[in-house]
Chain A
Amino acid sequence: MENLNLVFPEIFISLSIMSLLILGVFKKNSSKITFNLSLFTILITAIITINETFSVSRQTLFNESVVIDSMSSLMKIITLIGGFLVLVISSSYLKTFKIYNIEYPVLILSSILGMMVMISSNDLIVFYMGLELQSLALYVLATYNRDQLKSSEAGLKYFVLSALSSGLLLYGCSLVYGFSGSTNFDIISNELNSKEYVLTFGIVFILVGLAFKISAVPFHMWAPDVYEGSPTTVTLFFTILPKIAALTVFIRFLYVPFLNLIDQWQMIIIFLSIASMVFGAVAAIGQTNIKRLIAYSSIGHIGYTLAGLATASNEGIQSSITYISIYLVMNLALFSCLLMLRRKDQYYENIEDLSGLSKNHPILSLCLLVILFSLAGIPPLAGFFAKFYVFKAVLEQSMFFLAIVGLLSTVIAAFYYLRIIKIIYFDKEKDKYDTDHSLWLKFSLTVSTILILLYFIFPSQLIEVVSRINII
């Protein structure tokens, strides 16, 4: 008998989704209660995950198709925390647009479930199932504000392109299966050898599919449009959670089945990384919409995360995970600020709308200042340490070119972050924004900003947790 305790978080969350749907159908005006119950579900799931799986050594389930190890439990916990915070700051935004419905939390929960399955997968089929569950929920979420043209457009775009990439991914999987005779990662790892040229195609297809999911250059085209069109809270969801899940899968693919083929994929990852870092930095300069700008900046940040992966070392993986965790906090803080730019039930999302913010909203501007400098990677803020760990890992492998290009692109990226700071602090002021924000929004902004600001006092804690992850 399998030890079902290990997948109890997934079981619990899927049962909750079903019962919440039933509740939503049979009880009228149940939006609020569904929201609260969903939050509760995520919380409980997180607690179960910590309790049941956090301290176990690597174990597999269901004919070795699901793996529970330190990486999967850590990433699940990060995902759940992220999901909780996204959901908790969404409600006032949704109420403004009159889309405060039961579907929203349920879709978020299903997408989180899909991510959890992805994170734990040790088998091509399980991985694909998780991916699709996650993506389908995301398509709907992107169009969630269905009365707005842009939102529908974003959803459709995302659906078409994502389906294409899923197709590529699936094709890659089938090639890999054809050469190894198994869908299980461990067996593939033993069977594969680099002699087969066609196998390289399989790897490339899989990498392309995954690169699409994390929006690495040159598979990033969907990101700016989708980010801009989706409701802001969904954009926040897009910028962090799917990336965490996809990154985990990236790590799993590269370091379990394809580890012996490192010559084949290392150059690809380095290329993706450099292209994303440089393109993300350059393309963001001309943006006027904050959400589009965040899209490009997230492309850049994914580049840094990939730089860690390209090292093919445990330090590299750890640094990437550290990076994405810190990036999650920074992004959460940035979006909390964005959600505060509200005046009479209208949300503002152009960079120009920030003009002179520091006169009327000194605290909010100070938070933005900290967040933006942190995103630019200026010490002593958390963003610097994130980059520092990545480049430490990169330089350990003597990949000087990657490190230097990466650091130079931080200088380019610093330019557009500075531009926002300039608009906030140096330009003429505009009208005041509303200040009656929900408690949770204020809470998430304060906590995440303080984390960014004071990370340098306790840098070891996060490292300690992450350093337990040893894949190779």
Chain B
Amino acid sequence: MNFPILSSLILLPTVGALFLFFTKDKEGNNLTAKYVALFTTVVNFLISIYLWISFDQSISSFQFVEDRTWIVGFINYKVGVDGISILFIILTTFITPLCIISVNNSVKNRLRDFLIAILIMESFMIGVFCALDLVVFYLFFEAGLIPMFLIIGIWGGARRVYSAFKFFLYTLLGSVLMLVAIISIYWITGTTDVVQLYEIGIDVKYQNLLWLAFFSSFAVKTPMWPVHTWLPDAHVEAPTAGSVLLAAILLKMAGYGFIRFSLGLFPVASEVFTPLIYTLSVIAIIFTSLIALMQEDMKKLIAYSSVAHMGFVTLGIFTLQQQGIEGSIIQMISHGLVSAALFLTVGVVYDRMHSRLISTYGGLVSVIPKYSILFMLFALASLGLPGTSGFIGEFLILMGAFKDNFLVAVLASIGVILGAAYMLWLYKRVIFGKLINKDLKTILDLNRSEYFILSCLAAPILFFGFYPDPLINTIEVSVTDLINMHNTNIASK
């Protein structure tokens, strides 16, 4: 099949954005723009589903590969998917239309521009997950900063300027070292093509430094403790749709990068630095869970819980066990769905009450029961209750961790308990208790579109919680292959 399906996935949202650019911007609820954006992203989602169906799960090599000369004699535009990346692409195309439906209330002015930013962002995010050339990857990885900066800065909350700057500069600072590493790899091996690099391997004596350079970028983006501080700010100030994109997809870029590049390209260094990752991950899990316990702002609480969950992800990746890595991927997908859902649920009440403080609420269960049920589902999914997708991920990660390092696994398990603590406490304070705030009495339950969005997110959370096979089957061969490659590399060095 020669149809460039991945490129069309990348390009389609941009085409939609261009189309929007030439439509007239109306004040208020610009339905035309919304329908155009929605149509584009839904088509994109369908294409990605088609991609998943026609994806061959039994082979580990990259599929749907497109390889074109881009800068003559230097960089090829090369994209392709394997079992690991395809899930992230589907996550992206699935979350984006939901974001677009959700902008009803949260974005009041310049809706068209907002949608353009979201669409362009989608292009870049898909690009990150299918890039098979380091430079192409870097390009998409960095380019995403521009629309996100604008989303936070233009449509964000009160301290939006500070947050937007912090987000941009932190991530840029992390990434520049990665650029140095990428160019160095080019001079060391003569190529930046990931597939070729997997075959050639990189000389052991360079691996540690290169690994650290990549790490500096991914650690900021993940975000790992202690460079996580941009995340709560960015999350809190971004509009709901922005927070959703940020939590659900942008954070996954780094986890994906760890698997694809840090493990794949620098096997020896990955072994060397495993203790570092373990330490940081465990600190992230326990420390940020404790911070989350003390938050007064719902969005901030969820932001810190994201840091803790991403701590599990990095922990799982560097166990270098089949279960650990599979668990990390599933945890990322699950966190993508759950955190998106949680931000949207917070967005629902924020749109009505214009407050994110936990103390504003209480006793919601008696006024908005539908909302409360869905919120409960997401809270439980977030703490990893069996039967939700969050459980599968955490369970596999801990299983991998126990195989590799008992102490770390025990410490991480404490994090699971803390996770349950802050989520349940949040739920108790917001939903149960006495209805003290008078304004809450007139609060409306979910409207149709909100109900639709949240159900769309609830369905896969439950489905994959009970039946994770589709996910595991997709990633299994690729992960096995990655680990085999890793082990042979280690053995030969």
Contact = CB atoms under 8 A, between A and B. Distances in A.
A410 interface: yes
B143 A415 contact: no
A422 B153 CA distance: 8
A395 B188 CA distance: 10
A436 interface: no
A267 interface: no
B139 A414 contact: no
Contacts of A369: 150
Nearest to A366: B21
B172 interface: yes
Interface residues of B, number: 33
A268 interface: no
A459 interface: yes
B71 interface: yes
Contact of B186 (A392, A398, A414, A415): A392
B271 interface: no
A408 B150 CA distance: 22
Contacts of A415: 165, 169
A290 to B, nearest CB: 20
A211 B178 CA distance: 31
Nearest to A460: B72
A392 B183 contact: yes
Interface string B40-79: 0000000000000000000000000000011110000000
A160 interface: no
B177 interface: yes
A363 to B, nearest CB: 10
A380 B161 CA distance: 23
Contacts of A407: 176-177, 179-180
A459 B74 CA distance: 11
Contacts of B161: 422, 426
Interface string B165-186: 1001100110011011001101
B65 to A, nearest CB: 21
A362 B109 CA distance: 14
Contacts of A398: 187
B145 A378 contact: yes
Given A379-B143, A463-B71, A411 B173 contact: yes
A456 B143 CA distance: 12
Interface in B126-149: 135, 138-139, 142-143, 145-146, 149
Interface string A131-168: 00000000000000000000000000000000000000
Contact of A460 (B71, B150, B154, B176): B71
A456 B138 CA distance: 13
Nearest to B154: A425
13 contacts: A362-B25, A379-B138, A380-B143, A388-B183, A392-B186, A398-B187, A407-B176, A407-B180, A410-B176, A411-B173, A418-B164, A418-B165, A421-B149
Given A378-B145, A411-B172, A460-B71, 16 more contacts: A369-B150, A378-B143, A379-B143, A384-B142, A388-B135, A391-B179, A395-B187, A398-B187, A407-B176, A407-B180, A408-B173, A410-B176, A415-B165, A425-B153, A426-B153, A464-B72
Interface of A: 362, 369, 373, 378-380, 384, 388, 391-392, 395-396, 398, 400, 403-404, 407-408, 410-411, 414-415, 418, 421-422, 425-426, 456, 459-460, 463-464
Q: Which 9 A-B pairs have the closest CB atoms?
A: A407-B176, A379-B139, A460-B72, A395-B183, A379-B142, A411-B173, A459-B71, A379-B143, A426-B153
Interface of B: 25, 69-72, 113, 135, 138-139, 142-143, 145-146, 149-150, 153-154, 160-161, 164-165, 168-169, 172-173, 176-177, 179-180, 183-184, 186-187
